[in-house]
Amino acid sequence: MAGLELLSDQGYRLDGRKATELRKVQARMGVFAQADGSAYLEQGNTKALAVVYGPHEMRGSRSRARHDRAVINCQYSMATFSTAERKRRPHGDRKSTEMSLHLKQTFEAAVMTQLYPRSQIDIYVKILQSDGGNYSVCVNAATLAVIDAGIPMRDYVCACTVGFVDETPLADLCYAEESGGVSSLALALLPRGGQIALLQMDARLHQDHLEALIEAAMTACKGVSKVLDQVVRQHLQEASVNSAE
Amino acid sequence: MLKSKTFVKKTRSGGVMKIVREHYLRDDIWCGSESCSECKQESTVLQRDACIESNLCPYPHYLIPDTNVVLHQIDVLEDPVIRNVIIVQTVLQEVRHRSAPVYKRLKDIIHEKEKHFYTFTNEHHNETFVEREPGESANDRNDRAIRVAAKWYSQHLKTSKSDPDGLKVVLLTNDQGNKEKAEESGLLVYKCEEYIKSLIANPELVDQLALSNDDKNEITSSKMLFPEHLPLSRIQAGIKSGSFLQGTFRASRDNYLEATVFVQGEGEDSTEVLLQGLQNLNRSVHQDVVAVQLLPRDQWVAPSSVVLQDEGAAKDDDAEEEEDRALRISAAEAARKPTGKVVGIIKRSWRPFCGMLNVSHIKESTRHLFTPADRRVPRIRIETRQASTLAGQRIMVAIDGWPRHSRYPNGHFVRSLGSAGDKETEQEVLLLEHDVPHQAFSQAVLSFLPKMPWSITPEDMVKREDLRHLTVCSVDPPGCTDIDDALHCRELDNGNLEVGVHIADVSHFIRPGNALDKEAANRGTTVYLCGKRIDMVPELLSSNLCSLRSDVERMAFSCIWEMNHKAEILKTRFTKSVINSKASLTYAEAQMRIDDTTRTDDITKSLRGLNKLAKILKKQRIKNGALTLSSLEVRFHIDSETHDPIDLQTKELMETNSMVEEFMLLANISVAQKIYDEFPDCAMLRKHPAPPPSNYDILLKAAKSKSVEIHTDSAKALADSLDMAKVDNFPYFNTLLRILATRCMMQAVYFCSGMDSDFHHYGLASPIYTHFTSPIRRYADIIVHRLLAVAIGADSTYPDLMDKPKQSALANNLNYRHKMSQYAQRASVAFHTQLFFKSRGILNEEGFVLFVRKNAIIVLIPKFGLEGTVFFDTKDKATPNLVFDEEGPALKVEQHTFCIFDKVKVTISLDDSNIQHQKIRMSLIHPVIPGVSVPAPDVEPQAKKPKLDR
């Protein structure tokens, strides 16, 4: 078997997208009534559920509490049925722990934690189906959940992965692309100010290409933010209609 | 629009995995036609007036070929006449899976602007995507997809109002079923053949059509290429009943379609069975033990003298069949040999092979072919994701298996050795390829070394004679650090001469059975490469404690003769001793001392005495019929810093060389006699069998061509007639003849005296012979030392020493290591020769024709001792008219006839087109044959080294 051709000469990717095109993003907010905020987000075949509790008093050891801001607690997990082969350990492995930490960093940068001293905000994200770009889908879902919970943020945090194939940056990689030996980069952006909340890459890439890649990632993130904005607006509209009734 | 694609796939580990992928359908994929006004494309590929003049289609049209047409008729598609072709993505993908070379060619065509080939991404177009229906095979679905795409085009172009002439699309397919279905749906469809024949302007295209049966609609090629191997039980039954023969498979170096199986018969008679053609070779790999079945006598063939190399991936089966045929021609009845086919493999001898990766044409492909450095091993297909890093490196690959339907065996990547062309890497390759153990000595081995500082103790002296007072000296090549022999000569009071040969007493340090001994026995010999030595024993011994350096006390094993002035041996004595060498000289220094009449010191006198005796000994030996053969050996001057060869010259032989040699021979013969007398059953001896008469054919024919008679009845007759062989105006003739004679000889081998009856050493004309004189670098000598020590009561024996079968097994290993080390040495010289020629650029040299082959002559350049082949049929050039005369042997190229010994002029350059097998390329300058020889290129003046400013 010849390997997969990630980008054809005509400029189409494996699934028919062009290099800069995102996968189809669909989202719903307020999917659970009991949590303070929740959202469900699909980005192509990657599906994630995010739930937010808080801000509330510190639970567990109070020593972790900060007098000037809220502590954000993130937990990332993957459903056992989220991959082609059943996962043995849904959370707590090294990868999940790392991902939780990344999410925490991202949201500490975005949420206005100083408004809630000595309190805690919990963000739980679960990947229901995984098809590449898990981190960015989690960030996007969690953003919606945080908004749903009514916690003030500086801006939407939008994330997107970008890969580099044939001198071309590919936005929003799917699993087949991620595993095809592409050096990829994940970026979380606060789009209005253009501030980077998190940038992560663990592959080799020539420095000359880095700028182009970040540029592409930022464009992609801005694309995501537009979609999220729409979702939020629609949700609010529905909510206001409901409450008016 | 979004479609989800779901399919199951088998994973590499054998499990079944469900794979879900998204599949986006788009409405922004354009048709690529100039005449289309609907599509919002920026640039178009397909022309408005797409005219290929054809009887069938007199109107402008675009062609849509299906997968099989592309695969089989790529030659036609490449023709400049064929333009305006739509390659559907489905076809492109299928071609990519089926054949990498065709895919590469197709891509090249698509990139060529003049050809107007357009790739239509039908799989992602929302109107042309088709889903696989239940029960529909993948091939049928793809065919349908192509038809749907064609249909879409024909409608799309019709609706384009701007085009009144009605541009049409024509589907080309060779598949009858597909054609009928296409006609049903109202498409214009032709068979490729029909269409090409209808072209008015270009009848010659028909010739390029590949023949293919019409109904070859199977896309997957699960064709079985090889017959099945028989199970072991049937093979054994067959061997017992005599219908099969068991033997070792030896692939031919020059021709990948040919091999021999060496069948060891009862006792002496062993036969060789010839195998020809891939089918008959049946997946055997060099050195496998196989079972062969003889073919009926009328199918026997002669070994072909054509040089064929498997050039590989680009070749289809058809081409191979042609080559098969090329093999079959020729062969006079007499030259035919027993021919057979492999029916089963008894034992594989697969080891990791060194070589290089041929990176596949498809960039993302994970399957690549690997070309082993050893030409006798077939290419191996491996799967790797790091092809781009491995390209240009020497790697090791192990074979995993060879399925019946696969042209090449499958294997996997083992490790990388480093980048090709690197001296270190190349050396590693050559050691690995020749199975030379070259890793550092283990701690266990080193623990048996004597502790430093070391000195001779009184206990050591108990059984040793003190010879420290003697004027002993050693004579060796320059730069030699492992000095294992030293000599002395002095006049006795009775007027006779006492001559002593003192050999390093290695067996004192290497005690039988310990790790050090086992390691040395396994290594068997020290291997000398250019600029590197792979020691048999650790350096402390080889270059220090055992090395008979000057002015230090060393233990030795001495062989002392009393001779009269006619060099007749009166008395022979062996003893363990302690010596103190007075001087370690080089051959040149020793020669100078002998020649310098003003010097009269003890060393010089001793040397003169030795030299005088050696001359007499040599004369006697030659009188007895010892052969003086010739082979050119080259020596490199190596740059001391970069270790690159700077200059190359053939080794010179001086009188002193032969002086040392004579006494070594004498010592060896004396020792052989002694140990054989003492241990008739288990002496380690060395024999050199007389070659069978047929070996001399080449020599005789060659001599005859210059009307010189050579007698080969006995070694003496051969030696005498070689001495007589002289041709006027051709002083080099004799050397050439001796080189040829060397090639006729058999290999000398070690053996255990109890296991054999023929002891004769043909080359030295000695009834018995062994190796005693180089224990530092040969393990056989250590065994001989031990035997001799036991014989004179200086040491005790041990069970393995007296065990015939064990001795014999040891001798076999030593023979194998010895042979391999020689090959490694040669390969090392070849590599350095290449480095040398690389630095020197192109050279013009004179040489002599050494052999004549069917399509080539082999030329020897005496100046460099270099042999090279001048091919007359190069792939990219038209073959000149070649007539080969087997009797001569002579080769007539156009008007000129080449005979053996002809003087030619060639230009030498390094051919590094194939990085793995860089080789010296020779091409003919003189005699001038139009179309064959090349004009003499200007020799680049050697760049002068910049002078240092002081």
pLDDT band at B1 (very low <50, low <70, confident <90, very high): very low
Closest by Cα among B495, B427, B499, B807 to B643: B427
Average pLDDT value for residue range B45-61:
79
Q: What percent of chain A has pLDDT over 70?
A: 99
Q: Which helix (H) or strand (E) holds B621?
A: helix B602-623
Is 90 exceeded by the pLDDT of residue A102? yes
A residues 157-196 lying closer than 8 A (beta carbon) to B: 174, 176, 180-181
Is 80 exceeded by the pLDDT of residue B120? yes
Is 60 exceeded by the pLDDT of residue B314? no
Residue B427 vs residue B652, higher pLDDT: B427
pLDDT at B213: 47
Closest by Cα among B499, B481, B477, B502 to B489: B499
Was domain A25-243 assigned CATH 3.30.230.70? yes
Q: In what order do the strands lie in the sheet with B583-586?
A: B465-466, B569-580, B553-563, B497-504, B485-491, B473-476, B583-586
Contact flag B365-A180 (C-beta cutoff 8 Å): no
User: Which residue bears the tokens 């028989």?
Assistant: B230
Q: Which helix (H) or strand (E) holds B848?
A: strand B843-852
Closest by Cα among A118, A110, A128, A162 to A40: A128
Q: Are B402 and B345 in contact (CB under 8 A)?
A: no
User: How many Cβ atoms sit within 10 Å of the Cβ of residue A15?
Assistant: 22
Nearest CA in chain A to B8: A84
pLDDT at B653: 67
Contact flag B364-A3 (C-beta cutoff 8 Å): yes
pLDDT band at A28 (very low <50, low <70, confident <90, very high): very high
Q: Which residues, 6+ apart, have CB-to-CB distance to A2 below 8 Å?
A: B96, B97, B100, B360, B362, B364, B365, B366, B367
* pLDDT-wise least confident of B7-21, B209-223, B781-795: B209-223
Chain A residues inside the 8 Å CB shell of B110 = 9
Which residue among A6, A9, A17 places its CB closest to the CB of B364?
A6
Nearest chain A Cα distance for residue B366, angstroms: 6
User: How many Cβ atoms sit within 10 Å of the Cβ of residue B339?
Assistant: 21
Q: Are A142 and A179 in contact (CB under 8 A)?
A: no
Chain B residues inside the 8 Å CB shell of A5 = 96, 362, 364
Residues of B with a Cβ under 8 Å from any A Cβ are: 2, 4, 17-26, 89, 96-97, 100, 107, 110-111, 119, 121, 123-124, 360, 362, 364-367, 385
Is 90 exceeded by the pLDDT of residue B221? no
User: Which residue bears the tokens 């059509």?
Assistant: B209
Distance CA B333, CA B773 (A): 50
Average pLDDT value for residue range B506-518:
89
Average pLDDT value for residue range A27-38:
93
pLDDT band at A152 (very low <50, low <70, confident <90, very high): very high
Nearest chain A Cα distance for residue B24, angstroms: 5
Contact flag B4-A45 (C-beta cutoff 8 Å): yes
| B596 alpha carbon, distance to own chain's centre | 48
In B716-769, the DSSP E strands lie at 749-752
User: Which residue bears the tokens 């049966």?
Assistant: B213
Nearest CA in chain A to B10: A1
Q: What is the pTM assigned to this prediction? A: 0.63
Helix (H/G/I), strand (E/B), else coil: B368: strand
Measured between its terminal Cα atoms, the distance across chain B in Å is 80
Average pLDDT value for residue range B905-933:
74
Contact flag B365-A131 (C-beta cutoff 8 Å): no
Closest by Cα among B359, B354, B361, B370 to B410: B370
Which residue among B4, B22, B364 places its CB closest to the CB of A4?
B364
pLDDT band at B11 (very low <50, low <70, confident <90, very high): low
Contact flag A14-B21 (C-beta cutoff 8 Å): yes
Residue B26 vs residue B267, higher pLDDT: B26
Nearest CA in chain A to B95: A2
Nearest chain B Cα distance for residue A114, angstroms: 42
Q: How would you write B504-553 as a 3-class SS string?
A: ECHHHCCCCCCHHHHHHHHHCECEEECCEEECCCCHHHHHHHCCCCECCE
Which residue among A5, A10, A174 places its CB closest to the CB of B364?
A5
Q: How would you write A26-77 as a 3-class SS string?
A: EEEECCCCCCCEEEEEEECCEEEEEEEEEEEECCCCHHHCCCCCCEEEEEEE
- Please, what is the Cα angle at B499 between B605 and B524, to 5 degrees? 115
Distance CA B504, CA B483 (A): 8
Nearest CA in chain B to A44: B22
Nearest chain B Cα distance for residue A45, angstroms: 7
Closest by Cα among B696, B706, B594, B716 to B655: B594
Contact flag B365-A2 (C-beta cutoff 8 Å): yes
HSE, side-chain direction, 13 A CA sphere, residue B357:
31
Is 80 exceeded by the pLDDT of residue A213? yes
| B220 alpha carbon, distance to own chain's centre | 35
Chain A residues inside the 8 Å CB shell of B17 = 84-85
Chain A residues inside the 8 Å CB shell of B111 = 9
Contact flag A12-B96 (C-beta cutoff 8 Å): no
Chain B residues inside the 8 Å CB shell of A182 = none
Average pLDDT value for residue range B913-923:
70
User: How many Cβ atoms sit within 10 Å of the Cβ of residue B159?
Assistant: 11
Contact flag B22-A45 (C-beta cutoff 8 Å): yes
Give the tens place of pLDDT for each residue, B823-871.
888 888 888 888 877 777 777 888 888 777 777 788 888 777 777 778 7
Nearest CA in chain B to A12: B121
Which residue among B22, B96, B121 places its CB closest to the CB of A15?
B22
pLDDT band at B640 (very low <50, low <70, confident <90, very high): low
pLDDT at B560: 93
Query: Which token pair is B534?
Result: 């792979």
pLDDT band at B305 (very low <50, low <70, confident <90, very high): low
Q: How many residues does chain A have?
A: 245
Nearest chain A Cα distance for residue B378, angstroms: 21
Is 50 exceeded by the pLDDT of residue B206? yes
Closest by Cα among B281, B384, B806, B190 to A3: B384
Nearest chain A Cα distance for residue B689, angstroms: 54
Closest by Cα among B505, B577, B785 to B672: B785
Which residue among A2, A6, A180 places its CB closest to the CB of B362?
A2
Instruction: For strands B271-276 and B289-294, give the pairing.
Output: unpaired
pLDDT at A236: 93
Average pLDDT value for residue range B95-117:
86
Q: Are B527 and B824 in contact (CB under 8 A)?
A: yes
pLDDT at A220: 95
User: How many Cβ atoms sit within 10 Å of the Cβ of residue A63?
Assistant: 6
pLDDT at B879: 67
Is 60 exceeded by the pLDDT of residue B267? no
Contact flag A180-B89 (C-beta cutoff 8 Å): no
Mutation target for A interface from B364, B367, B389: give the one with most A CBs within 10 A. Answer: B364
Nearest chain B Cα distance for residue A202, angstroms: 18
Nearest CA in chain A to B26: A16
DSSP code, position B827: H
* pLDDT-wise least confident of A65-79, B145-159, B222-236, B489-503: B222-236
Mean pLDDT (chain A, rounded): 91
Chain A residues inside the 8 Å CB shell of B100 = 2
Nearest CA in chain A to B24: A16
Closest by Cα among A157, A120, A154 to A138: A157
Mean pLDDT (chain B, rounded): 80
Distance CA A243, CA A237 (A): 10
Is 80 exceeded by the pLDDT of residue B187? yes
Contact flag B22-A2 (C-beta cutoff 8 Å): no
Nearest chain B Cα distance for residue A4, angstroms: 6
A23 shares contact with chain B (CB less than 8 Å): yes
Q: Where are the domains of chain A?
A: 25-243
User: How many Cβ atoms sit within 10 Å of the Cβ of residue B410?
Assistant: 15
Nearest CA in chain A to B4: A45
* pLDDT-wise least confident of A209-213, B523-527, B852-856: B852-856
Q: What percent of chain B has pLDDT over 90?
A: 10
Nearest chain B Cα distance for residue A61, angstroms: 44
Distance CA B627, CA B714 (A): 10
A10 shares contact with chain B (CB less than 8 Å): yes
In this structure, the dihedral spanned by the alpha carbons of residues B804, B806, B811 and B817, taken in order and rounded to 10 degrees, is 180
Distance CA A169, CA A160 (A): 12
pLDDT band at B219 (very low <50, low <70, confident <90, very high): very low
Chain A residues inside the 8 Å CB shell of B123 = 16
A residues 35-74 lying closer than 8 A (beta carbon) to B: 44-45
pLDDT at A73: 94
Residue B375 vs residue A96, higher pLDDT: A96
Distance CA B192, CA B209 (A): 9
Average pLDDT value for residue range B269-291:
84
Residue B943 vs residue B616, higher pLDDT: B616
Contact flag A1-B23 (C-beta cutoff 8 Å): no
Chain A residues inside the 8 Å CB shell of B97 = 1-2
Q: Please report the number of interchain residue pairs, chain A to chain B, with beta-carbon separation below 8 angstroms.
A: 66
A1 shares contact with chain B (CB less than 8 Å): yes
Residue ranges of alpha helices (H) inside B841-891 are none
Chain B residues inside the 8 Å CB shell of A4 = 364
Nearest CA in chain B to A3: B365
Exposure class string for A194-207: b at 16+ Cβ within 10 A, else e? eeebbebbeeeeee
Residue ranges of alpha helices (H) inside B423-504 are 423-433, 443-446, 458-461
pLDDT at B315: 42
Give the tens place of pLDDT for each residue, B128-177.
888 888 888 888 999 999 999 999 988 888 776 555 567 788 898 888 88
Average pLDDT value for residue range A174-190:
89
Query: Which token pair is B377?
Result: 């091993």
A residues 81-110 lying closer than 8 A (beta carbon) to B: 84-85
pLDDT at A141: 96
